[in-house]
């Protein structure tokens, strides 16, 4: 059991933008047991003034150098900065023996993300609970923790779907179709920050931003596919260089085939995942309802015994009763604190953040090279292809 059980985890928030402000409120109001907000790293003068007014007891770090120079004052960081900064900040934190909770995506490319995973492994080996400062006092008592903010996993509907699939309720999986075009974003959103919706600033469009949540859920439910084929629309709905329309086809080694369709330019949209198996169909809608159409006889068994030309299995439909949802961000923060204090398993360990990123990278490669991409991808190929997109974007803007 960690030797810091009972001690509060002192967190510094890095980034005070849209999500950063939400995280600050959640960590400062005492609602996360065993975790406290002790600092915020914010370069913006207006943001600093707001922090002084709302959180007068919190230390302000004017930049990341200032923050890391005072790393002995805190135990971990929550990274809520633009995508391309995630890896560098995480690596620096692990070198200081700090805990890291990072907003999705874990990085913009698998090559960069693997640098972060490597830094975490080295930190775990170097900064063990037995490491001591001069004078015998432990600086950061627990081994450095690493988690990714894929908070949708905490919703009861997805946890139940995961349980049913893994428990065999659907039998052998055959098909999955997810239509997710309720991500509508107007030009106002795309202009809200200079780094948004660009190869240079964000490292991509929908696939690297909104769809990361869905791609994480996909791999969590079904595992990683053998290959990905993509048809992407770049600036289909608005004047953008990046993707705002996504159609993916996932190929698995067994009978399972998957399709995922998403866009950020259509409204009203749909959020509906249908999963077929030999024992029936499971439908997840709007991140909140779960319906199971259960076959009375599994399709493979029915095929063996049926003697009617147009016969098909009878089925019963039922809504699955779910727990009332809680604030998923708070649940993630609580899980992070409990892992550090009590050794409880992380709901989304850092290494799992690589999977959703690799699916996005594979989809981009498929679109650019117009071919099916087998996994794992070649990291260097993607890194070079992404750099080419950045160069092209700069010539167009």
pLDDT in tens, 225-235: 999 999 999 99
For residue range 16-29, list pLDDT tens digits in order: 999 999 999 999 99
Q: What is the pLDDT of residues 48-91, one digit of tens each?
A: 999 999 999 999 999 999 999 999 999 999 999 999 999 999 99
User: Residues 341-362: what's their mean pLDDT?
Assistant: 98
* For residue 299, pLDDT beyond 60: yes
Are 107 and 61 contained in the same domain?
yes
pLDDT in tens, 353-378: 999 999 999 999 999 999 999 999 99
Residue 284 falls within a domain, yes or no?
Answer: yes
Is residue 334, in this structure, part of any structural domain at all? no
User: 243 and 370, same structural domain?
Assistant: yes
Q: Is the pLDDT of residue 140 over 70?
A: no
- Give the pLDDT score at 42: 98
**Would 346 be classed as within a structural domain?**
no
Asked whether residue 120 is domain-assigned, the answer is yes
Same domain, 243 and 215: yes
Count the domains in the chain.
Answer: 2
Q: What token pair was written down for 27?
A: 């960590």
211 vs 230: CA distance, rounded Å: 14
pTM of the full predicted structure?
A: 0.94
Given a cut of 80, whether residue 304 has pLDDT beyond it is yes
Position 184 confidence tier, pLDDT thresholds 50, 70, 90: very high
One domain, residues 168 and 307: yes
Question: Above 60 in pLDDT, residue 111?
Answer: yes
In a domain, 166, yes or no: yes
Q: Among the three residues 125, 144, 163, which one is the final residue of a domain in this structure? A: 144
49-58 core/surface letters (b: 16 or more CB in 10 A; e: else): ebbeeebeeb
* Residues 173, 264 share a domain: yes
**Are residues 164 and 129 both part of a single domain?**
no
> Which are the contacts of 216, defined by CB distance < 8 A and separation ≥ 6?
104, 150, 152, 153, 348, 352, 353, 355, 356
Q: Are residues 96 and 173 in the same domain?
A: no
Which of these three, 108, 124, 144, is where a domain ends?
144
Q: Find how far residue 202's CA is from the centre of its chain.
A: 15
User: Are residues 167 and 45 part of one domain?
Assistant: no
pLDDT, average across residues 134-145: 60
- For the stretch 255-271, pLDDT in tens is 999 999 999 999 999 99
The CATH number linked to 234 is 3.30.360.10
pLDDT band at residue 138 under the 50/70/90 scheme = very low
Q: What is the pLDDT of residue 216?
A: 99
Q: Which residues pair with 323 in a beta bridge?
A: none
Q: Is the pLDDT score of 278 beyond 50?
A: yes
Tens of pLDDT, residues 32-51: 999 999 999 999 999 999 99
| One domain for residues 168 and 108 | no
**pLDDT level of residue 4 (50, 70, 90 thresholds):** low
157 and 139 inside one domain: no
Structure tokens at 116: 């972060």
pLDDT of residue 129: 56
pLDDT category at 131 given cuts 50, 70, 90 is very low
**Assigned domain for 352 exists:** no
Contacts of 293 (CB under 8 A, 6+ apart): 280, 281, 282, 283, 315, 316, 317
pLDDT at 24 (0 to 100): 98
Where in the sequence is the domain holding 262, given as residue range(s)?
Answer: 153-321+357-396
Instruction: Give Cα separations from 294 to 104, 174, 308, 318 (angstroms).
Output: 35, 15, 21, 8
- Count how many Cα atoms sit within 13 Å of the Cα of residue 176 in the half-sphere of its side chain: 28
Residue 335 lies in a domain: no
Q: Can you give the pLDDT at residue 194?
A: 83
Taking 90 as the threshold, does the pLDDT of residue 10 lie above it?
A: yes
- CATH code assigned at 47: 3.40.50.720
Mean pLDDT, the chain, integer: 94
Could you tell me if residue 40 is inside a domain? yes
Instruction: Determine the Cα–Cα distance for residues 5 and 19; give it in Å rounded to an integer.
Output: 29
Percent of the chain with pLDDT over 90: 91
Domain boundary among 144, 177, 200: 144
Structure confidence at residue 133 (pLDDT): 44
Q: Are residues 72 and 196 in the same domain?
A: no
pLDDT given at position 135: 38
Query: 168-177 pLDDT, tens per residue?
Result: 999 999 999 9
Task: Note whether 104 and 188 are same-domain residues.
Answer: no
Please state, in angstroms and rounded to a whole number, the distance separating the CA atoms of residues 337 and 353: 19
Give the per-residue pLDDT at 5.
59
Burial track 267-301 (b if 16+ CB lie within 10 A, e otherwise): eebebbbbbbbbbbbbbbeebeebebebbebbbee
Q: How confident is the model at residue 191 (pLDDT cuts 50, 70, 90)?
A: confident
């Amino acid at each position: 059991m960690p030797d810091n059980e009972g001690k509060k985890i002192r967190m510094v928030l890095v980034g005070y933008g849209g999500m950063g402000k939400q995280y600050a409120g959640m960590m400062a109001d005492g609602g996360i047991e065993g975790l406290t907000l002790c600092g915020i790293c914010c370069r913006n003068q207006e943001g600093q003034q707001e922090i002084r007014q709302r959180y007068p007891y919190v230390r302000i770090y004017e930049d990341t150098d200032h923050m890391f120079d005072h790393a002995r004052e805190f135990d971990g960081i929550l990274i809520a900065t633009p995508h391309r900064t995630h890896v560098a900040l995480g690596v620096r934190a692990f070198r200081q023996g700090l805990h890291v909770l990072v907003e999705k995506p874990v990085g913009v490319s698998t090559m960069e993300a693997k640098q972060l995973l490597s830094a975490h492994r080295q930190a775990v080996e170097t900064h063990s609970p037995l490491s001591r400062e001069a004078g015998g006092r432990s600086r950061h008592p627990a081994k450095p923790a690493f988690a990714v903010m894929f908070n949708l996993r905490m919703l009861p509907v997805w946890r139940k779907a995961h349980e049913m699939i893994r428990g065999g309720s659907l039998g052998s999986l055959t098909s999955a179709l997810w239509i997710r075009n309720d991500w509508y974003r107007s030009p106002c959103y795309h202009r809200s920050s200079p780094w948004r919706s660009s190869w240079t600033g964000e490292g991509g469009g929908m696939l690297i931003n909104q769809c990361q949540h869905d791609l994480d859920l996909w791999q969590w439910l079904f595992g990683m596919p053998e290959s990905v084929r993509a048809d992407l629309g770049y600036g289909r709905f608005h004047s953008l260089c990046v993707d705002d329309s996504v159609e993916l086809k996932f190929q698995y080694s067994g009978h399972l085939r998957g399709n995922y369709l998403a866009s950020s330019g259509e409204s009203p949209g749909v959020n509906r995942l249908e999963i077929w198996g030999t024992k029936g169909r499971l439908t997840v809608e709007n991140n909140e309802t779960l319906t199971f159409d259960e076959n009375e006889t599994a399709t493979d068994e029915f095929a063996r015994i049926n003697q009617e030309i147009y016969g098909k299995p009878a089925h019963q439909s039922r809504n699955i009763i779910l727990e009332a949802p809680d604030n998923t961000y708070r649940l993630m923060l609580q899980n992070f604190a409990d892992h550090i204090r009590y050794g409880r398993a992380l709901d989304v360990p850092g290494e799992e953040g690589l999977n959703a990123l690799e699916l996005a990278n594979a989809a981009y490669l498929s679109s650019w090279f117009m071919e099916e991409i087998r996994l794992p991808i070649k990291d260097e190929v993607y890194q070079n292809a992404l750099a080419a997109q950045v160069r092209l974007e700069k010539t167009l803007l």
